[in-house]
Amino acid sequence: MNIPKTMPAVQLIKYKHPFVKNTIPVPTINANEVLVAIKGAALNPVDIGIQSGKMRMIMPYKLPITVGNDFAGVIVQIGKNVTKFKVGDKVYGRPNDFKSGTLAQYIAISERGIALMPKNLDFVQAASIPLVSLTSYQALVEYGHLKHEQKVFIQAGSGGVGTIAIQIAKALGAYVATTASGKNSALVKSLGADKVIDYHTEYFADELRNYDIAFDTLGGNFLKDSFKILKAGGHVITLNGLPDYRFGVDHDLGRTRSILFEIASTHLRHLAKKYHVFYRFFIMHPSGSQLATITKFIEEGKVKPIIDKVYSYNQVFTAYDHLQSKHAPGKTVVKINV
C-alpha cells in the first residue's frame, strides 16, 4: 500500500486555544508498533479537558499534540516484533497517553494497545467503543472487583461511559441502578438498568442503600454523596474526583505533586474511612487484552455501541460543539475518510 509522507490531523497547539487542522508527517512505527489507517474516531470530554489546560496537573502534555483518544481502522504496516496482528486486520484501540492522537489519517500504536474489531461492527460503531468500554471495565472490574449479583450504581447512565458501563455490569451479572433524565429513561432500561432514577426529580443518595460499587462520573457533591449509598467494604470509583499520593506515584508525576494530591484528597479519604469503603480516582489506560474481552462481549451481543451522532472529518469542529453540550446520549463519532 502506498503510504503518503504527510497527513491531515486535528491538533492542539496551545492550551485554551481552539483545535486546528494541520498537515503533519505520517508517524513512523517502531519494532513493536503497527501503523493503522484510521477510519473512525470518537470524541471524548477528555479532549476538551486537555484543551482547557485543566488537566495539566495530572496529564502534562507537551504541545503540539494530535487530538483524539480512540479509533477503529485497518493495519497497513507492522513492526518486526509484532506477532499478534497482520497487515489488513481491522483493529480498534486507545493510544497511549502522550502519543499521537486519533483525529488523523494514520496512527502508530503498540500492538499491546489494540484488539481485533468485533466482527459485527462497522468502523464507526467500533470507533465509539475503546475509551468508554476500557474506562467502564477498569472501574467495575480492575478497581471495583465486581462480582456476580453485586449491586452497582452508575452515575449518568445515558452518557458515553454510562451506556457502556450499564451493559458491562449486566454482562457480569450485576444489579444496576443508574441516573438519567426522563427522556433517556427508556434508553438506559433497554441497556439493562434495573432501577432508573430521574435526576431531575429524585436524588440518588436519597434512594439507594447497601450498594457494592458506586461508579461516579460527575464528581463534586455527586461524588461525596456516593459514599452514603455503599455497604461497608464497598467501592467508590470516580472519573472526576481528586487523585491521591498513590496516583501521583503510579503516574510518575513526582513527589511534590503526589503530596499535593494527597492533601487535596484528604476529605475524600476521610469519607472512605468514615463509611468503611474504598475510594479510587483513576485515569483509564489502554489495554489490548481488556479490549479483547470487550470484543467478545460485543460479538456475543451482550454489549452494543450507542451512537448519538456521526460527523465527517470536515465537520469535526461542529462535532466538538455537539459534545460540549454535555447532553449527548451515547457517543459522537467522526468518520475519517480523508
Ligand X SMILES: NC(=O)c1ccc[n+]([C@@H]2O[C@H](COP(=O)([O-])OP(=O)(O)OC[C@H]3O[C@@H](n4cnc5c(N)ncnc54)[C@H](OP(=O)(O)O)[C@@H]3O)[C@@H](O)[C@H]2O)c1
Q: Which residues bind ligand X (CB under 6 A)?
A: 44-46, 49, 135, 156, 158-162, 179-181, 184, 199, 217-218, 239-240, 283-284, 326-329
Taking alpha carbons only, the member of 192, 172, 186, 187 closest to residue 307 is 187
For residue 127, the minimal CB distance to ligand X (Å) is 14
In the complex, minimum distance from the CB of residue 155 to ligand X, in angstroms, rounded to a whole number: 6
User: How far is it, in rounded angstroms, from Cα 117 to Cα 180?
Assistant: 29
Would you say 268 or 284 has its CB closer to ligand X?
284
Closer residue to ligand X in complex, CB, 27/40: 40
Pairing assessment for the beta strands 33-42 and 106-110 based on DSSP bridges: antiparallel
Instruction: List the grid coordinates of 254.
Output: 513526582
**Cα–Cα distance for residue pair 114/299, rounded to 1 Å:** 17
Smallest gap from residue 50 Cβ to ligand X (A): 10
Instruction: Provide the b/e sequence for 34-51 (b: ≥16 CB within 10 Å).
Output: bbbbbbbbbbbbbbbebb
* Region for 254 from its dihedrals, namely left if φ exceeds 0, alpha if ψ lies in -120 to 50, beta otherwise: left
> CB–CB of 140/148 below 8 Å?
no
Any idea what DSSP says for residue 278? E
Positions of E strands within the chain: 6-12, 20-25, 33-42, 65-66, 71-78, 90-93, 106-110, 114-116, 151-154, 175-180, 195-198, 211-216, 230-238, 278-281, 307-312, 331-335
Of 25 and 182, nearer to ligand X (C-beta) is: 182
Instruction: Give the residue at shortest CB distance from ligand X.
Output: 159
Q: What is the DSSP string of 33-83?
A: EEEEEEEEEE--HHHHHHHHTTTTTTS---SSEE--S-EEEEEEEE-TT--
Question: At closest approach, how far in Å is the CB of 280 from ligand X?
Answer: 11
Is the Cβ of residue 240 or residue 293 nearer to ligand X in the bound state?
Answer: 240
Distance in Å, CB of 308 to ligand X, minimum: 8
- Shortest Cβ distance from residue 239 to ligand X (Å)? 3
Instruction: Please say which residue, 105 or 238, places its beta carbon nearer to ligand X.
Output: 238
- Cβ 44 to ligand X shortest distance, Å: 6
Measured from the CB atom, the residue of 7 and 42 that comes closer to ligand X is: 42
**Comparison of 75 and 328: residue with beta carbon closer to ligand X:** 328
